Amino acid sequence: MIHIALLGFGVVGSGTAEVLTKNRSLIEKHSGKQIEIKYILDLRDFPDHPLGNRVVHDFNLILNDPEISVVAEMMGGSHPAYEFTKAALAAGKHVVTSNKEVVANFGVELLDVAREHGVNYLFEASVGGGIPIIRPLQNDFAPDNILSVSGILNGTTNYILSKMKNDGAEFADALRQAREKGYAEADPTADIEGLDAARKIVILCALAFGVLIPPSEIEVEGITKITSDQVAVAESLGCAVKLIGHTERIGDRVLAQVCPHLVPASNPIHHVEDVFNGILVNSDPLGKTFFYGAGAGKLPTAGAIVADILNATSSDLVLPVWKRAEKNEIAGSRERNVRRAFVLPGCAKCAERAKPVFGFEQYVVQEGAFAFLSRPMTGEEVENALRELGKEPVWTLPVLD
């Protein structure tokens, strides 16, 4: 019998209890293990819940109970989640979590504490909700050289961008609809400004390249400035606008960034609609591998927590080795050699002049402007090209091929 404690009984915490109750016999059959929720830590009481009698308000009860072998942290926010996690690991308890903020900011230290005390710290639920992405990256890609990881890592913004594309809605209207559906939080800032995706891409970057860059040190741009006009131009170029978290190795440095990209139909990420997530891993020798599924939501995320509880107790240590990125190990988006979408002011004659400079054949004419997808270019090459043409772009975004 595995005795566990749930920290936080919100959406993911109560979902975990639901999955453990609903699928009890299935879990026992597959894993040969019985999981018993002994404590639920929350500020609130839940007198009407069948597990209401397990609710406690003092974390020390959990910490000092030798019967508790796994703590599932689903509180959200950095504090006191970080302090509770560290204390539980130091007390020799495995910790599993959906809390990307804690993993992204304190992952290096918490993995070290876990290693020191011979316990696991697992976080499958922190990125991509129910999509298995953390464990595959850590285990199954071990023989591969990972070149890049790119994906739609936030369901709320993908819902908004899908609405803008499919219904021609403006951002504010699509956000209102996301709120009505219960996807967007009362304060949707972390989603629409790209901060939630930033926390997730730094975790994927650390898994792919072994260095954790604090989310505050990466370039992040959300979707608040995207207009329905831009979405329509992207469509005329055969692309969808998607908020992408991207990480790649550039020389001996690592880039991680979040910003809107134009994604051509040839990329499976183009077709990820609504609140779904999709993550593309490019590695050698495997090539491109695509992960798709429910990136958010109560039960999918809870399923990943339960899988981690089972893994924490059935494996030897399965901890990645990360180090904190030094400043000189972090690349900027300017160094990225990538195709880019441009809208430049001018007429068809200007477009013809721009063709050899930006390396494109086809373009779309708009009122007083033309749009095209360039050859792969670094930021410096873009600046030189624009200088040569004497133009400032109306807008430009990277392309995710």
Annotated active-site positions, please? 200
Q: Say how many residues touch ligand HSE, by CB under 6 A.
A: 8
Q: Residue 345, preceding bond cis, omega within 30 degrees?
A: no
Instruction: Compute the distance between CA of residue 101 and CA of residue 200 in angstroms, rounded to an integer.
Output: 8
Burial class (CB in 10 A: 0-12, 13-18, 19+), 3: middle
- Cβ(230)–Cβ(165) under 8 Å? no
Number of other CB atoms surrounding residue 190 within 10 Å: 17
Q: In 99-238, at which residue ranges do the beta strands (DSSP E only) sit?
A: 121-122, 145-152, 211-212, 219-220
CA distance 379 to 396: 11
Least Å from the CB of residue 168 to ligand HSE: 22
Q: Is 68 in the site for ligand HSE (CB under 6 A)?
A: no
Stretch that binds ligand HSE, among 84-92, 151-159, 311-319, 347-355 (CB under 6 A): 151-159
Binding flag, residue 156, ligand HSE (CB under 6 A): yes
Residue 297: CB atoms within 10 Å: 17
Per CB under 6 A, which region of 22-30, 149-157, 251-259, 262-270 contacts ligand HSE? 149-157
Question: Interhelix angle for 348-358 vs 379-389, to 10°?
Answer: 140
Pick 261 or 339: Cβ nearer ligand HSE: 261
Applying CB under 6 A, does 155 fall inside the site for ligand HSE?
Answer: yes
Under 8 Å between Cβ of 3 and 68: yes
Residue 159 burial class via C-beta count within 10 angstroms: exposed 0-12, middle 13-18, buried 19 and up: buried
148 or 156: whose CB is closer to ligand HSE? Answer: 156
- Specify the residue, 13 or 155, whose C-beta has the smaller distance to ligand HSE: 155
Please report how close the Cβ of residue 319 comes to ligand HSE at its closest, in angstroms.
Answer: 23
Cα distance between residue 96 and residue 103, in whole Å: 11
Is 97 one of the binding residues for ligand HSE (CB under 6 A)? no
CB neighbour list of residue 176: distance below 8 Å, 6 or more residues apart: none
CB of 92 to ligand HSE, least distance (A): 29
Q: How far is the CB of 14 from ligand HSE (least distance, A)?
A: 16
Quick one: 68 or 243, whose CB is closer to ligand HSE?
Answer: 243
Closest C-alpha among 188, 189, 216 to residue 202: 216
The C-alpha atoms of residue 306 and residue 294 are separated, in whole angstroms, by 16
Give me the least distance between CB of 44 and ligand HSE, in Å please. Answer: 21
DSSP letter at 335? G
The two beta strands, 323-324 and 211-212, are parallel
Under the criterion CB under 6 A, does residue 103 sit at the interface with ligand HSE?
no
Instruction: Indicate the residue among 9 and 159 with the shorter CB distance to ligand HSE.
Output: 159
* Position 8 contacts ligand HSE (CB under 6 A): no
Q: Report CA Rg, the chain.
A: 23
Q: Binding ligand HSE by CB under 6 A: which of 73, 101, 191, 308? A: 191
Q: Which stretch binds ligand HSE (CB under 6 A): 20-28, 89-97, 148-156, 220-228?
A: 148-156
Instruction: Determine if 154 is a binding residue for ligand HSE (CB under 6 A).
Output: yes
Task: Measure the CA–CA gap between 64 and 62, rounded to whole angstroms.
Answer: 6
Pick the closer one to ligand HSE by CB: 13 or 129: 129
Span near ligand HSE by CB under 6 A; candidates 104-112, 153-161, 215-223, 361-369? 153-161
| Segment 240 to 299, residues that bind ligand HSE, using CB under 6 A | 295-296
Distances (CA, A) of 306 to 49, 74, 120: 20, 12, 14
Which residue of 196, 248, 308, 381 would you call a contact of ligand HSE, by CB under 6 A?
196
How far apart are alpha carbons 39 and 84 in whole angstroms?
A: 14
Which residue, 260 or 264, has its beta carbon nearer to ligand HSE?
A: 260
Provide the minimum distance between the beta carbon of 186 and ligand HSE in the complex, in angstroms, as a whole number: 12
CB of 125 to ligand HSE, least distance (A): 9
Q: For ligand HSE, which is the closer residue by CB, 105 or 283?
A: 105
Q: How far is the CB of 296 from ligand HSE (least distance, A)?
A: 4
Binding interface with ligand HSE (CB under 6 A): 129, 154-156, 191, 196, 295-296
